[in-house]
Amino acid sequence: MSADRRKPVLVIGLGRFGSAVAHSLMRMGHEVLGVDANPRLVEMMAAELTQTVEADTTDIDALRALGAGEFTSSVVGIGTDIEASVLTVLGLSDLKVPSIWAKATNDNHGRILQRTGAHHIVFPEARMGERVAHLLNGRLIDFIKFDDRFAIAKLAAPGPIVGVTLALSDVRRKYGITVIGIKRLDEDFVYATPDTWVLPDDIMIVSGTIEQIERFAAIRAKG
């Protein structure tokens, strides 16, 4: 999410997703106004955010009273109440908030939010589900997917390429992936070059399509 020059950010919905976003923004130096209709959540977050307010954000007058139209970025983290999520996004759109991020629980919810005025749709459950599935197979240590099926992954160096340079193993031509860098135990991360040697126990950071990364990680079984 782009929130330039640490400008204040409006976060609506202080459940697991919204509170995680709010905490991260605070760590990055942003002021955060956290809003929720649940007084218990508002009270819980009061000491952790710049300001917290209990409000019904489905009411555009309540959004105006919060000064929502003065924010350049807002996050709608309401997930369980789809109607409240949609009406909140509609209100923010009517107030011409330039950057509206909204959590969606499924594709239909996401399409409605987009048509209602959200600029960015986030599917945290779906993304996390796919990430867990990739990590469960034991081949990847970490995995981040982007919208166009491009991904970045961290994995142990596959056996067949250990003991040679990246140029000699020719992984880019054979598997289509790009090796971004190598991390060795007790050493700093180094960016990869064709002359980089791959040693036992090296951790690799690679990029490519999901299919390419999966195919590359699978050669471990042949090593």
- CATH number of the domain encompassing residue 217: 3.30.70.1450
Are 22 and 76 in a shared domain?
A: yes
| Between residues 93 and 128, the one the model is more confident about | 93
Q: Which band of pLDDT confidence, cut at 50, 70 and 90, is reported for residue 223?
A: very low
Are 213 and 163 in a shared domain?
A: yes
Q: Which band of pLDDT confidence, cut at 50, 70 and 90, is reported for residue 222?
A: very low
Half-sphere exposure of 30 (CA within 13 A, CB side): 25
Average the pLDDT over 158-178 and give the result.
92
Give the Cα separation of 59 and 158 in Å (integer): 55
pLDDT at 220 over 80: no
> Which range marks the domain in which residue 85 is found?
4-122
102-153 per-position pLDDT tens digit: 999 888 999 999 999 999 988 887 666 666 666 666 678 888 877 667 889 9
Half-sphere exposure of 142 (CA within 13 A, CB side): 7
9, 3, 118: which is closest to 67 by C-alpha? 9
Dig out the tokens for 184 from the structure.
């060795």
Give me the chain's average pLDDT, please.
88
- CATH number of the domain encompassing residue 73: 3.40.50.720
Give the Cα separation of 124 and 211 in Å (integer): 21
pLDDT at 86 over 60: yes
> Of 93, 122, 151, at which residue does a domain stop?
122
> Of 91, 122, 153, at which residue does a domain stop?
122
pLDDT at 57 over 90: yes
Are 183 and 110 in a shared domain?
A: no
- Count of the separate structural domains present in the chain: 2
Residue 191 lies in a domain: yes
Residue with tokens 């860098």: 181
> Of 122, 154, 189, at which residue does a domain stop?
122
Residue 131 lies in a domain: no
Are 97 and 160 in a shared domain?
A: no
